[in-house]
Amino acid sequence: MNFIKTSIHGVVICEPIVHSDNRGYFIETYRQDKLEEFIGYKVNFCQDNESKSSYGVLRGFHYQVPPYSQAKLVRVTKGKVLDVVVDIRKNSPTFGKHVAVELSDDNHRQLFIPRGFAHAYVVLSDEAIFAYKVDDYYSKECDKGIIFNDSELNIDWKLGHSKLELAERDKLLPKLNETTDLFEYTDNLHV
């Protein structure tokens, strides 16, 4: 497994080593010891989630606030998505900045997202199956979000807005500067 730092501290691209031949391929999709060694702290994933979506579906930006904030390890098992995370830690040097990474069943890339970040993705293929691990359980009361088209975030979704399909809930989310549910900045990303 190769780990690649991104422009935002703590957000990490994980690239598994693909062993392939004429029969197919084998990859190790997760190694807790190697990930923890790279990020410098323990992560105890407790829940796996999966969603299937069609072309143009945009899910997010979502995050959970304490006491149920979540770190995530996300990947695509079928299709292709543009995965985007935004730093929502007040007073962070990268507050409001984002990282966008293409995840697909061809590149096998994964993205590790620490606590304190909002997460979204848009499907770029006919359909996509998106799978992810989280290190705390889902809590409806702690579930928050930010609108995908906040002009301050300046995100290129690779598709025109008329091609995007969102849940009604996601269309009503506030802009980043309108939300009060943000994280306090700390270099300690696992709290």
What does the pLDDT read at residue 35? 96
Q: Please, what are the domains in the chain?
A: 45-184 (2.60.120.10)
Do residues 112 and 72 make contact, with C-beta atoms less than 8 angstroms apart?
A: yes
Concerning whether 41 is annotated as a catalytic residue, the answer is no
Model confidence band, residue 93 (pLDDT cutoffs 50, 70, 90): very high
* Long-range contacts, stretch 163-166, CB < 8 angstroms, 24+ apart: 163/55, 163/56, 164/56, 164/57, 164/58, 164/122, 165/54, 165/56, 165/57, 165/58, 166/57, 166/58, 166/59
What does the pLDDT read at residue 190? 60
Catalytically annotated residue among 63, 98, 108, 132: 132
What does the pLDDT read at residue 105? 97
CA–CA gap between residue 25 and residue 7 (Å, rounded): 31
Concerning whether 62 is annotated as a catalytic residue, the answer is yes
In whole numbers, what is the pLDDT of the chain averaged over residues?
Answer: 95
Catalytically annotated residue among 62, 68, 185, 190: 62
What does the pLDDT read at residue 191? 53
pLDDT score of 187 more than 80:
no
**Residue 148 CB-density burial (10 A; 0-12 exposed, 13-18 middle, 19+ buried):** buried
Q: Summarize pLDDT for 29-67 with one digit per residue, the tens.
A: 999 999 999 999 999 999 999 999 999 999 999 999 999
What does the pLDDT read at residue 189? 65
